[in-house]
Amino acid sequence: MKKVLVTGGAGYVGSILLRELMQAGYEVVCVDTLMFGGDSLIDIWHHPQFTFHKVDVTDFEALDPILDSNDFFAYVHLAAIVGDPACKRQPELAQKTNWEASVHLLEKARENKVERFVFASTCSNYGKMADPGGMVKEDSPLAPVSLYAELKVKFEKLMLEESEKSPDFCPTSLRFATVYGLSHRMRFDLTVNEFTKELAMGKTLVVFGEQFWRPYCHVSDFSQAIMTVLEAERDKVAYNVFNVGDTAENYTKQMIVDEILKQIPDGKIEYVVKKEDPRDYRVDFTRIREELGFAITKTVPEGIAEVRDIVSLGVVQDPEEQRYYNIPHGE
């Protein structure tokens, strides 16, 4: 049975991936500090294919014995300080986690002859589009406008261009769209989830930058993309980068609001002007579809429906609880 290391596996993206991997017959070792708790792991805790280590990826003394004592087929590296606001709040920790620990993991993967290395990057790398009417592709210029994206760009570059290429190693960077939808570790600080939650709770949704474009992708499709890469022929994915999402799923914030209002028609919206979040990008996702045959299974309206339901039916009792947010909620 092939063994996969998932760093950050208790998180929003990782907790779905762990289950997909085990379902597909992989043995999974999850390393996570449980920054947002470990509820997402409870029902797989006793699974025979699952092992958990509460270890910080920046603590190499604790991490290396795990890396060295397992015969891993792949490292899927998700652990990070996630998002622009979280990195802005804790820049040193972001530097340590998102850059230094990533470099270390990459080195260990090569040293331990791990075949595959999948890095969770982001479409935020594109920053503000040079041509506002156009679409960015994998080879478009990168223009990060935050520490979060700068560190992703820097590591991606090291991994794909600057480190010595080896025929036995296969690193891949996935530039994920903005994610939404239900996960075992829920997040209500992501645009679709947050907007839907506010309106489902009967609050007035305050919106700024409604004209800006962004691509969106369901969290379960992130997992599918990672699985696709792990199972793809080496030559298609080695030292390669893929945008993850679907070209038809680019929306302005206004379009997201309009989609939510179709499902919560009495929702109240207030528009404000704020000089913040200058990210504005529409992304082309042809490469992953044509080269790897990847197709999304869910769209934004479906994500809105599921988030509306878990909030309005009380499946999540208190969506304002801090554990659903990556920065202090209400800041």
Ligand X SMILES: NC(=O)c1ccc[n+]([C@@H]2O[C@H](COP(=O)([O-])OP(=O)(O)OC[C@H]3O[C@@H](n4cnc5c(N)ncnc54)[C@H](O)[C@@H]3O)[C@@H](O)[C@H]2O)c1
Residues interacting with ligand X, by CB under 6 A?
A: 7-8, 10-14, 31-36, 56-58, 78-80, 82, 97, 120, 122, 176, 178-179, 185, 187, 190, 326
CB of 202 to ligand X, least distance (A): 26
- Decide whether 179 or 200 has the Cβ nearer to ligand X: 179
Rounded CA gap, 298 and 195, in Å?
18
CB of 175 to ligand X, least distance (A): 7
- Decide whether 33 or 140 has the Cβ nearer to ligand X: 33
Encoding tokens for residue 305? 């429906």
- Give Dmax (Cα) for the chain: 58
CB of 51 to ligand X, least distance (A): 15
CB of 223 to ligand X, least distance (A): 10
Q: How far, CA to CA in Å, does 321 sit from each of 35, 46, 147, 205?
A: 14, 27, 26, 18
- Decide whether 20 or 312 has the Cβ nearer to ligand X: 20
Rounded CA gap, 150 and 145, in Å?
7
Rounded CA gap, 292 and 273, in Å?
41
User: Nearest 5 degrees, angle CA 132-CA 245-CA 215?
Assistant: 35
- Decide whether 31 or 238 has the Cβ nearer to ligand X: 31
- Decide whether 30 or 135 has the Cβ nearer to ligand X: 30
Pairing of strands 250-252, 213-218: antiparallel
- Decide whether 38 or 312 has the Cβ nearer to ligand X: 38
CB of 323 to ligand X, least distance (A): 10
| 47 close to 9: Cβ distance less than 8 angstroms | no
CB of 27 to ligand X, least distance (A): 19
Rounded CA gap, 161 and 157, in Å?
5
Query: Closest residue to ligand X, Cβ-based?
Result: 11
CB of 263 to ligand X, least distance (A): 21
SS3 of the chain: helix, strand, coil, percent, to 5: 40, 20, 40
- Decide whether 8 or 267 has the Cβ nearer to ligand X: 8
CB of 152 to ligand X, least distance (A): 7
Q: How far, CA to CA in Å, does 148 sit from each of 64, 66, 90, 121, 309?
A: 25, 27, 10, 10, 31
Encoding tokens for residue 146? 């935050």
Torsion of CA 204, 254, 256, 125, to 10 degrees: -120
Neighbours of 10 (CB within 10 A): 26
- Decide whether 58 or 263 has the Cβ nearer to ligand X: 58
